[in-house]
Structure 1
Amino acid sequence: MRISKGFIKLFFGSLLFCLIAQICWLVLVRHQRQLRLDSYFLERSREASSGYDSSRKRQLNQMLKLSSNTYIDELHDENRRKEFVRENATLLMLVRNWELTGALHSMRSLEDRFNKDYQYDWTFLNDVPFDEEFIEATTAMASGKTQYALIPAEDWNRPSWINETLFEEALQLMEEKNILYGGSKSYRNMCRFNSGFFFRQRILDQYDYYFRVEPNVEYFCDFPYDPFQVMRKNDKKYGFVITMYEYEDTIPSLWEAVEEYLEETESKDVDMENNAFSFISNFDFFGKSFGVMDSNSDYNLCHFWTNFEIGDLNFFRSEKYIRFFEYLDSTGGFYYERWGDAPVHSIAVSLLLKKDEVIHFDELGYKHMPFGTCPSAYYLRLQQRCLCDSNHPDNIDLNVISCLRRWWKDGSGKYFLKHNS
């Protein structure tokens, strides 16, 4: 049977029409599905972007001028100033001129995450005069006032009563043992200064609180509160974010000196019923394991990492702290060994303060090489715009060399609600 050409054209035409119709229908369906997805994701985006508006206080952020890149003139009006009330506090950095790049890095991070809203003063200390470049650059980076002070030589340099022969022998021995900063003279000056003299600087006389900041650190999250207000309202004297074990080779006789101090003062400054002595002396189980660090003394080597610390200056100015420091200093351990300010502060805080006067700021993401801390709660990291991974190996919180679980057990415990400011 012969098929006519007309029938063939009609057949292929119909087939082509069906194919085009099907393609159009698929395109239409895909387009509609894409519209639904766009609508869904747009709604999710709106929900996400507005979910934390109240905590981020976005209603205070005004529109930009169309004519420039500057904010409207009324941005810093009276209502905005009332929103952020400053405490009598300062951000404190001990730093050298050559550390300018690292200082600016730390300042930028803390300004963006916290201080841009409060404009706390920045106070810079140095054992040599600051140069003009350092002053100009840090002033430009700060949202608040900047001030600079030269540390008096008698507060910084090695005391004249230190036996120079023993000192040089100690340096050589620690260098041979590859102890971190074991051969450094300036590092010992810094540790002694941070232990007993930083709070005596006249430029700090006007303040009640300080926030220690070091070059080349990073703050991972927006601060959910003003930590200075938390300190004052909750009667806290000392705050930390990281606690870990100290290198015992740097402090072989420190605990012996502490025990001698307690015996000589008859422990009159110490309240064993309410302090955190157990935090620095217990060696028992915490969690499912023992601590991993052995100690040759009754000190378990736990200490607060002082490159981040927020403290009440009046505690360090107190007679009991000065008695504690001056006794330790009289032994020469800052130079004949290599006592750090971290174990000295930590032992003092654990002995002389009530455990409830010490606070762990567990919402504040932070890093000082090689370790950091990152909030573990997923929605808290979203809310505070954190740029960190709580499961990263550098996150020390639950690492075997961390003393945080020891603090939860023998310190002031673990809090699951944010502190109010």
Structure 2
Amino acid sequence: MQPKKKLMPKSAFLVKKYERHFRMMFIAFVTVLCFVFFTRSGSSEPAAAVTPKEVEPAVSHALAEKSQLLKPHADIVQNVFYPEDDGKRENATMVTLARNKDLYSLVTSVRHVEDRFNKNYHYDWVFLNDEPFSEEFKAVMTALVSGTAKFGVIPTEHWSFPDWIDQDKAAQVRQQMKEDEIIYGDSISYRHMCRYESGFFWRHELLNDYAWYWRVEPDIELFCDINYDVFKFMKQNNKKYGFILSVSEYEKTIPTLWETTKNFKKEFPQHIKKNNLESFVSDDGGKTYNMCHFWSNFEIASLDLWRSPAYRDYFDYLDKAGGFFYERWGDAPIHSIAAALFLEPEEFHFFDGIGYYHPGFTSCPVEEPIRLQNKCVCNPAKDVTWGKGYFCTRQYFKARGLKVPKEVR
């Protein structure tokens, strides 16, 4: 026989029955008290609407302060500082030479620059073409850029053979270069491009109102956030030419460029800076050219450098010599040699800490703290910035008397 079950007192039964309900009511009561307390502790006035124009300077200032937390080694040894963002913009623009067929090779480049930099600053973008841009090109680029997109057509006289060029001789050169398998050796359009980037892009009417430019090409990538205004940086640090990668030129494309430059130096000695950076482009006091040049698919520079009497005279001298068509002179060695002769060493800047890719070569900051701070997505093992032989960053540091980062072997 099973024992008789004990009955629970009535009062205890009621407590047990409603215990869960009491607990839920207590939690609700505490929640209401917290809500009242925190609501009354804040302002009783409704929050004012904040416009994007009010937010932008504050965001930019915060970014500028963040960028000062760490400097790449190169910036330390170059003795530069990051300016605070006062909300004002420099007279600057991005500039791109492109064809209509380059549209979908260019969209990623533009997006990289906008996402990593220009979304915070909204600088304009000038697009140049030797023929009118298509409506599709203009629509896509206008939608992508955060500043004003401007589209210009290159004047015919800036993209054609000058009248002093012997067309038969130029054709023979192209054929020989083709047989010698020299890259772009038989290309007419490539020669026009090099001549245009050397002597005419800065003369286009759309660039007349600007003092600074950033050259952007199709198929490039930026790997790191740029948390400061690069144009304000250039101006306030008194820089005139900025680069990332420096490489060696193909000697067969410029066999007489240096000899022509030496003749120019003799005829125009007034243009050559006494304290210059010629030791970057020559290892023997100017007797020969060592082929080093700044890779001009990335340039952040002063337009006044190319507008100067010194550079105008230099370009005209080279143009009349015919090397753009009788050889295959590139704009990169011409820009580099000119800057080395016409600027003082302190007016150059090596843009470490950005991270950059152009088909063929990758630049990735070698310092891990910098990569982390700037949210870089590149693999430092792929960096060629400090490579020996073909690459020239070490040569630049040697010419400047600067020490390379300890991470560089």
Q: Please tell me the TM-score bracket, short chain as reference.
A: 0.7 to 0.9
Alignment of 1:288-367 (within 5 A): 298-367=288-357
Is 1:116 matched up with 2:119?
yes
Is 1:277 matched up with 2:266?
no
Aligned 8 A contact 2:109 2:216 in 1: yes
> Match of 1:227?
230
> Match of 2:392?
403
Please state whether the residue corresponding to 2:381 is helix, strand or coil. coil
**1:378 Cα shift?**
0.4
Deviations 1:270-316 (A, max 9, x none): 123x11011111169xxxxxxxxxx9x70000000000001100111
Deviations 1:353-385 (A, max 9, x none): 001101100111001010010101101101111
> Match of 2:133?
130
Alignment of 1:384-399 (within 5 A): 384-392=374-382, 395-399=384-388
Q: List runs of 5+ in structure 2 lacking aligned partners.
A: 1-47, 61-86
Please state whether the residue corresponding to 2:290 is helix, strand or coil. coil
Distance in 1, matches of 2:178 and 2:144, equals 38
Aligned 8 A contact 1:93 1:125 in 2: yes
Q: TM-score, normalised by structure 1?
A: 0.76
Distance in 2, matches of 1:375 and 1:97, equals 33
Distance in 2, matches of 1:98 and 1:277, equals 39
Distance in 2, matches of 1:370 and 1:358, equals 24
> Match of 1:62?
none
> Match of 1:184?
187
Aligned 8 A contact 1:238 1:311 in 2: yes
* Residue range with higher mean Cα deviation, 299-308 or 221-230: 221-230
**1:144 Cα shift?**
1.1
Please state whether the residue corresponding to 2:142 is helix, strand or coil. helix
Please state whether the residue corresponding to 1:311 is helix, strand or coil. strand
> Match of 2:56?
80
Aligned 8 A contact 2:56 2:120 in 1: no
Please state whether the residue corresponding to 1:244 is helix, strand or coil. strand
Number of positions where the alignment pairs a residue of Structure 1 with one of Structure 2: 331
Deviations 1:184-230 (A, max 9, x none): 00000000000000110011000000000001100010013211111
Distance in 1, matches of 2:263 and 2:53, equals 57
Equivalent of 1:159, from 133, 157, 162?
162
Distance in 2, matches of 1:376 and 1:367, equals 15
Aligned 8 A contact 2:234 2:240 in 1: yes
Deviations 1:160-201 (A, max 9, x none): 221011000000010001001000000000000000001100
Equivalent of 1:377, from 356, 367, 383?
367
Q: List runs of 5+ in structure 1 lacking aligned partners.
A: 1-71, 285-294, 417-421
**1:399 Cα shift?**
4.0
> Match of 1:24?
none
Distance in 1, matches of 2:55 and 2:385, equals 41
Alignment of 1:140-289 (within 5 A): 140-265=143-268, 267-272=269-274, 274-282=275-283
Matched-pair identity in %? 45
Distance in 2, matches of 1:75 and 1:397, equals 45
* Residue range with higher mean Cα deviation, 231-240 or 152-161: 152-161
- AA matched with 1:184: S
Aligned 8 A contact 2:164 2:320 in 1: no
Deviations 1:117-146 (A, max 9, x none): 001001000000001000000111111110
Distance in 2, matches of 1:414 and 1:166, equals 47
Distance in 1, matches of 2:401 and 2:169, equals 41
Please state whether the residue corresponding to 2:93 is helix, strand or coil. strand
Distance in 2, matches of 1:207 and 1:405, equals 32
Distance in 2, matches of 1:152 and 1:128, equals 9
Aligned 8 A contact 1:92 1:213 in 2: yes
Deviations 1:309-354 (A, max 9, x none): 0110011101111001110111000000000000000000000100
Aligned 8 A contact 2:226 2:354 in 1: yes
Distance in 2, matches of 1:347 and 1:384, equals 32
**1:268 Cα shift?**
1.0
Distance in 2, matches of 1:304 and 1:399, equals 15
From the superposition, tell whether residues 303 and 252 of structure 1 become closer, same or farther in structure 2 (CA, over 3 Å). Answer: same
